[in-house]
Amino acid sequence: MNTPTNLKYTKSDEYFDPATGAVGISDYAQNQLSDIVFVELLVDEGEEVTVGKAIASVESVKASSEIYAPAAGKVSAVNKGLSDKPETLNSDPYGEGWMIKIEGGAGDVMDSVAYEKYCEGRSH
């Protein structure tokens, strides 16, 4: 499991990069979902979001999941190309697989150590 130390994580498996504002799903989450075949971003650039607002919808071969905003603030960018290559979420969740960028402060998030522990606790 890859959990970069510079990022913050939520219990619903989103990550937030405090430096760039980038939001996406964690490596753990992409692995759980397995092969992702569809992603739809539910917010537009310039929109204000609150913590917990659904910002994207993701579907894999076997599962479907909503992605929630880990931070509150203005959406400064959306990754428009993502819907054409949803598999990027599997191959590069922290790089090309970013979903949106939020200018603002994180909500209830964990650091990488706490998140790794949290994930281990879930795999029985």
Partner 1 sequence: MNNAASATLSAKIVEPTIFELSSPGRRGVKMPASDVPTTALPPNHLLRSDLPLPELAEVDVVRHYMKLSKFNYSVDDGFYPLGSCTMKYNPKINEDTCRLPGFLFTHPLQPIETVQGNLALMFEMQEWLKEISGFEGVTLQPAAGAHGEFTGVLMMAAYHKSRGDLKRTKMLIPDAAHGTNPASVGMLGFTVITIPSDSRGNVDLEKLKAACDDTVVGMMLTNPNTLGMFDENIEKVVNMVKDCGGLMYGDGANLNALLGIVRPGDLGFDVMHFNLHKTFSVPHGGGGPGSGPVGVSQRLVDFLPSPLVGIVEEGDDETAPLYDFVTPKNSIGRMKAFHGHFGGGLVRAYTYIAMHGPDGLKDISQYAVLNANYLQARLRDTYKIPYDRICMHEFVMEGQFEGSDIRALDIAKRLMDYNFHPPTNYFPLIVHEALMIEPTETENKDTLDRFADALIKIAEEAKSQPELLHDAPHITPFGRMDEVKAARELVLCCWLPENYDASQ
Partner 2 sequence: MTYIPISPTERDAMLKTVGVKSLDDLFDAIPKKHRFPELNLPPALTEMEAAAHLGEMASSNENVREHLVSFLGAGAYHHYVPSVVDHMLRRGEFYTAYTPYQPEISQGTLQAIFEYQSLMATLTGMELSNASHYDGATATAEAVNLAYAQFRGKRKKIVMSPTVHPQYREVIRTYSQGMGLEEAGDEPTSSELSPEALTPLIDESTMLVVVQYPDFFGRIHDYTKLIEDAHARGALVCIVANPTALLMLKTPGEMGADIVVGEAQPFGIPLWYGGPYLGFFTTKKSYVHKMAGRLIGETVDSRGQRAYVLTLTAREQHIKRERATSNICTNQGLLALAAAVYMSTLGKQGLQEVANLCYQKAHYAASELSKLDGFGLCYPDPFFHEFVLCTPKPASEVNQYLLDNGIIGGYDLGKDYPALQNHLLVAVTEMNSKNEIDTLVEILQEMSHE
Interacting residue ranges for partner 2, rule: CB under 8 A? 37-38, 40, 42, 57, 59-64, 66
Which listed option, partner 1, partner 2, none, makes contact with residue 42 (CB within 5 to 8 Å by class)?
partner 2
Decide if residue 35 touches partner 1 (CB under 8 A). yes
Strand 64-68 vs strand 54-60: parallel, antiparallel, or unpaired?
Answer: antiparallel
Shortest separation between residue 85's beta carbon and partner 2, angstroms: 15
Residue that is written with structure tokens 């990027």 in the block: 88
Subset of 79-118 contacting partner 1 (CB under 8 A) = 87
Helix (H, G, I), strand (E, B) or coil at 100: strand
Show Cβ contacts of residue 81 under 8 Å, excluding neighbours closer than 6 positions: none
Q: Which residues 42-71 are close enough to bind partner 1 by CB under 8 A?
A: 61
Q: Locate tokens 């994580």: which residue?
A: 9
Other beta carbons less than 10 A from residue 79's beta carbon: 19
For partner 1, the binding residues (CB under 8 A) are 35, 37, 61, 87
